Amino acid sequence: MKTENNLSNKKTVPAATPRYRNFPMVPRVVFGSGSFSQLGDILLPMRKSSEAPFIFLVDDFFENKEFINRVPLLFNDEIIFISADEEPKTGQVDALVTRIKQQYEEPPSGIIGIGGGTLLDLAKAVSILLNNKGLAKDYQGWDLVSRPALYHVGIPTISGTGAEVSRTTVLLGPEKKLGINSDFTTYDQVLLDPDLTKTVPKEQWFYTGMDCFIHCVESLNGTYLNAFSQSYGEKAMELCQEVFLDDIPEEESRDKLMMASWHGGMSIAYSQVGVAHAMSYGLSYLLGVKHGIGNCLVFQHLEEFYPEGVTIFKKMMQKHNIILPKGICANLTQNDFDVMIHVSLGLEALWENALGKDWKSLMTPDRLQALFQKI
């Protein structure tokens, strides 16, 4: 019979070979206290000509600080100070690209991002848009960039996001908060100098550090977990616990948190984040809540998903006397909740990683709203 034939034919077709993702990694990295003084030597061979400047995008916290005299400027190199008070926006990237193109006859030799996740993401996006036509918002998504980015170097001054190692740059666009995820986003060179994090205020240190801790919890408890992610996630988790729960010397703590951030970023590269990030993106889109604190505000209420992680998180908060603001969602309208829920549930891969293929029946809009209402 026809049906039987079809069935028996099917049996002879070999099972599809799984397709594994082929990720780029940062090809060069220097780590160590004081390593910032090597930056000039690292950049020199990458300089195209005396007319092709290096553009340093620097967190404006460093404006008028002693540190700025150590930036190795030559010829017409330029420092552009940028505030990290707000998360990076697609329009901000476009404006920077236009300014750089108008100001210099020759394309720059490279872009150097110096700061936290905000500056690291901006520098990645600017280097992509300098070599690709159109607007930053056109590239929000997965693998939409066709030409390699301009040479770009990332230098974190606060530890936790993993932006120094990831293949994404998270931007707030006119319609969505979404990364430019591409093989060309990843930095060509990263310089990890833990001394640069000495001036980070305590609360910010905690919030950005918890971003790393939450990356680990979400990766290690996700359905996408595999040996690659687990190996990095476990190491990052161990380092976070030493930094935030043990009493280790400050210098060692700075070194370890910087490496935790790196490993946490590597862990999610080959898996995904989960419930806290999906919700925190919603908060950030509607209310402009910054990523680190947004994750903490959400994560404290997620014991049903991450019981062990939330217990450790609360211990860490207590040890460092961190008091999170309350009532963030107290005065929101139903329309506000709908916007947050829409943004959050749109991040399908995060939910699938957290709750499995059947996540839509588990995380209904009502259940999600009840979680937001606790914040």
Interface positions with ligand NAD (CB under 6 A)? 59, 61, 84, 87-88, 115-119, 121, 157-158, 160-163, 166, 168-170, 196-197, 199-200, 204, 208, 211, 290-292
Single out the residue of 87, 121, 211, 218 in contact with Zn ion (rule: CB under 5 A).
211
Q: Which one of ligand NAD, Zn ion, none is in contact with 233 (Cβ closer than 5 to 8 A by kind)?
A: none
Q: Which one of ligand NAD, Zn ion, none is in contact with 204 (Cβ closer than 5 to 8 A by kind)?
A: ligand NAD
Nearest CB to ligand NAD, comparing residues 59 and 188: 59
Q: Which two tokens stand for residue 66?
A: 């002693």
Nearest CB to ligand NAD, comparing residues 197 and 272: 197
Nearest CB to ligand NAD, comparing residues 52 and 350: 350
Nearest CB to ligand NAD, comparing residues 34 and 356: 34
- We find the least distance from the C-beta atom of residue 189 to ligand NAD, in angstroms, to be 16
Q: Which one of Zn ion, ligand NAD, none is in contact with 154 (Cβ closer than 5 to 8 A by kind)?
A: none
Closest residue by beta carbon to Zn ion: 211
Nearest CB to ligand NAD, comparing residues 83 and 311: 83
Which of these, 246, 224, 201, 238, lies nearest to 351 by C-alpha position?
Answer: 224
Q: What is the 3-state secondary structure (H, E, C) of the chain?
A: CHHHHHHHHHHHCCCCCCCCCCCCCCCEEEECCCHHHHHHHHHHHHCCCCCCCEEEEEEHHHCCCHHHHHCCCCCCCEEEEECCCCCCEHHHHHHHHHHHHHHCCCCCCEEEEEECHHHHHHHHHHHHHHHCCCCHHHHCEECCCCCCCCCEEEEECCCCCCCCCCCCCEEECCCCEEEEECCCCCCCEEEECHHHHCCCCHHHHHHHHHHHHHHHHHHHCCCCCCHHHHHHHHHHHHHHHHHHHCCCCHHHHHHHHHHHHHHHHHHHHCCCCCHHHHHHHHHHHHHCCCHHHHHHHHHCCCCCCCHHHHHHHHHHHHHCCCCCCCCCCCCCCHHHHHHHHHHHHCCHHHHHHHHCCCHHHHCCHHHHHHHHHCC
Which residues 76-135 are close enough to bind Zn ion by CB under 5 A? none
Nearest CB to ligand NAD, comparing residues 235 and 291: 291
Q: Which one of Zn ion, ligand NAD, none is in contact with 56 (Cβ closer than 5 to 8 A by kind)?
A: none
Q: Which one of ligand NAD, Zn ion, none is in contact with 61 (Cβ closer than 5 to 8 A by kind)?
A: ligand NAD
Cα angle, residue 223 at apex, residues 222 and 225 outer, rounded to 5°: 70
Closest residue by beta carbon to ligand NAD: 117
Q: Which one of ligand NAD, Zn ion, none is in contact with 163 (Cβ closer than 5 to 8 A by kind)?
A: ligand NAD
Among all chains, which residue has been given the structure tokens 């000509």?
49
Among all chains, which residue has been given the structure tokens 């998903």?
305
Nearest CB to ligand NAD, comparing residues 55 and 84: 84
Per-residue contact flags (x/-) with Zn ion for residues 161 to 200, judged by CB under 5 A: ----------------------------------------
Q: Which one of Zn ion, ligand NAD, none is in contact with 116 (Cβ closer than 5 to 8 A by kind)?
A: ligand NAD
Q: At what angle do helices 275-287 and 334-345 cross, to 10 degrees?
A: 130
Nearest CB to Zn ion, comparing residues 26 and 55: 26
218 binds Zn ion per the rule CB under 5 A? no
Q: Which one of Zn ion, ligand NAD, none is in contact with 274 (Cβ closer than 5 to 8 A by kind)?
A: none
- We find the least distance from the C-beta atom of residue 193 to ligand NAD, in angstroms, to be 10
Residues within the interface to Zn ion (CB under 5 A): 211
